Amino acid sequence: MKKNIGIIDKVIRLFVGLFIVIYIGFFQGSWWGLIGAIPLFTVLSSNCMLYQIFGISTCKIKEEKQG
């Protein structure tokens, strides 16, 4: 899979995912906390399926110099 998540996007997703898992999952005692696993998974895989569908990429791609 092609990477389409940049570093800033990863950091935001990491904090949002951890917040959802910790606050909603543990402190509130709700199964809805499992939704926080989605942004955490995208951080680990560096790929977001919604970004892929809509052709979005926040990952800066290094261009190779030709010639």
> What's the gap between Cα 22 and its chain centre?
17
Whole-model pTM: value is: 0.81
The counts of H helices and E strands in the chain are 3, 0
Per residue in 12-66, pLDDT tens?
Answer: 999 999 999 999 999 999 999 999 999 999 999 999 999 999 999 998 876 555 5
Q: What is the pLDDT of residue 64?
A: 53
Straight-line distance from the first to the last Cα atom of the chain, in angstroms, rounded to the nearest whole number: 28
Q: How far apart are CA 4 and CA 42, in angstroms?
A: 10
Instruction: Compute, in degrees rounded to 10, the torsion defined by CA atoms 34, 36, 39, 44.
Output: -70
Q: What is the pLDDT of residue 58?
A: 92
